[in-house]
């Protein structure tokens, strides 16, 4: 499979920043599982290198509410109805932008770029030239390096109550990557309770690009202590095994008969402690699954909470998805929303993507973006309630 390219795209000007829909403390108040949790919009206001960070609120006709900051284009909060029709915040995050700036912050809710996931030794060859990237994950580059999109102030324009467009210009040489890359990410809260993320980008020089969102989910409600009780289905007959530094070996192995078989619904905790070298390498699940993609109208992943009855379906144009079971969360601080801590395996990520280390793996789907082409991809996280849990 190759990246989807379309000939042209209308970009919303990076110079436009919404100054119309300022959030207030009253607007950011929401009820989560009977508890009032308040997001202080002032805590999301910060001047970073002359650019202002802000918090934006989206709401659909069903009362589903999302909060997004232009710092890292991050999803801060997403409140969806549970089986008792109560709004439940299913996304982990912080109470302030300053917490997102901490060293070692786990990319909560951020747009990841230029390259989601890992690149071996931070190197790749392109058009006869070797590029050296920032090493921020041992000997490898992770999520674009220490100067990635997750740490940038994006230009933002609120299109309507359900749509937010964010743009960023990544200059030639930023974090070691070639080309001036114009990126646009549009978040839309759909009327069928989906959070749709549309990504587009162009470059003036041949480069590599692999964008994703790094939301951490707990369908029991953020701050709940485990996701091991969640039921997971992934429409993938294969996955890409990794070495001890979590770089793909280049092989695609079958999931059948292994702990990685989620082709039928399985509780996440069922096999996570199995004696398996791959699980040992990732301290649990931290692997790319090769999606079957037999039907683009069907969800590639389904997750269910037995506690709230909330079901999340994922639809994507991407060929892969990274399932990460929150193995590096520690719960050592209480910077989470409302002073919560987020301990080991208290959230999962399902990051739609091209494969890790694709620039160094000729057999993987290409992530090369050339001048004159437009990178275009879309992912939707859709929420509903399992009626059998009511």
Q: Which residues belong to the active site?
A: 214, 351
- The residues, ordered by sequence, that sit 6+ positions from 362 with a Cβ below 8 Å of its Cβ are none
Residue 77: its H or E element: strand 74-81
Please choose, from the candidates 101, 30, 34, the residue with its C-alpha nearest in 3D space to the C-alpha of residue 67. Answer: 30
> Cβ neighbours of residue 125 under 8 Å, at least 6 residues apart?
131, 359
- Backbone angles phi and psi of 99, in degrees to 5: -65, -35
Question: Is the bond preceding 161 in cis, omega lying within 30 degrees of 0?
Answer: no
Q: What does the CA dihedral 17, 6, 72, 381 come to, rounded to 10 degrees? A: 110
- Residue 262 in contact with residue 234, Cβ under 8 Å? yes
Cis peptide before 117 (omega within 30 of 0): no
Euclidean distance between CA atoms 283 and 260, whole angstroms: 14
The candidate with the shortest Cα–Cα distance to 66, out of 321, 382, 323, is 382
């Amino acid at each position: 499979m190759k990246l989807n390219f379309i000939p042209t795209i209308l970009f919303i000007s990076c110079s436009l920043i919404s100054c119309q829909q300022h959030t207030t403390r009253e607007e950011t108040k929401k009820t989560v599982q009977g508890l009032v949790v308040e997001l202080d919009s002032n805590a999301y206001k910060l001047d970073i290198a002359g650019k202002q960070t802000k918090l934006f609120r989206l709401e659909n006709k069903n009362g589903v509410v999302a909060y997004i900051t232009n710092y890292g284009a991050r999803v801060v909060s997403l409140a969806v109805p549970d089986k008792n029709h109560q709004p439940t915040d299913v996304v982990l995050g912080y109470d302030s932008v300053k917490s997102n700036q901490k060293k070692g912050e786990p990319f909560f809710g951020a747009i990841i770029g230029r390259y989601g996931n890992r690149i071996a030794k931070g190197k790749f060859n392109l058009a006869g030239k070797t590029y050296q990237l920032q090493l921020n994950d041992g000997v490898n580059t992770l999520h674009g390096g220490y100067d990635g999109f997750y740490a940038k102030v994006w230009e933002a324009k609120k299109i309507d109550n359900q749509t937010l467009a964010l743009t960023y210009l990544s200059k030639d040489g930023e974090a070691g990557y070639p080309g001036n890359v114009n990126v646009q990410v549009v978040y839309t809260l759909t009327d069928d309770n989906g959070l749709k993320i549309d990504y587009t980008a162009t470059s003036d020089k041949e480069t590599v690009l692999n964008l994703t969102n790094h939301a951490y989910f707990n369908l029991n409600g953020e701050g709940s202590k485990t996701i091991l009780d969640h039921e997971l289905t992934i429409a993938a007959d294969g996955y890409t095994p990794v070495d001890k530094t979590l770089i793909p070996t280049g092989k695609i192995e079958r999931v059948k008969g292994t702990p990685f078989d989620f082709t039928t619904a399985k509780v996440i905790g069922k096999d996570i402690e199995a004696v398996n070298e791959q699980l040992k390498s990732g301290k649990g699940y931290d692997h790319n699954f090769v999606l079957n993609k037999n039907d683009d109208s069907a969800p590639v992943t389904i997750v269910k909470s037995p506690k709230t009855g909330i079901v999340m379906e994922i639809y994507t144009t991407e060929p892969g998805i990274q399932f990460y079971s929150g193995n590096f969360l520690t719960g050592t601080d209480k910077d989470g929303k409302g002073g919560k801590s987020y301990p080991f395996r208290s959230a999962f990520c399902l990051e739609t993507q091209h494969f890790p280390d694709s620039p160094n793996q000729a057999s993987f789907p290409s992530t090369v973006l050339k001048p004159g082409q437009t990178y275009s991809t879309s992912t939707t996280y859709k929420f509903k309630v399992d009626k059998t849990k009511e």
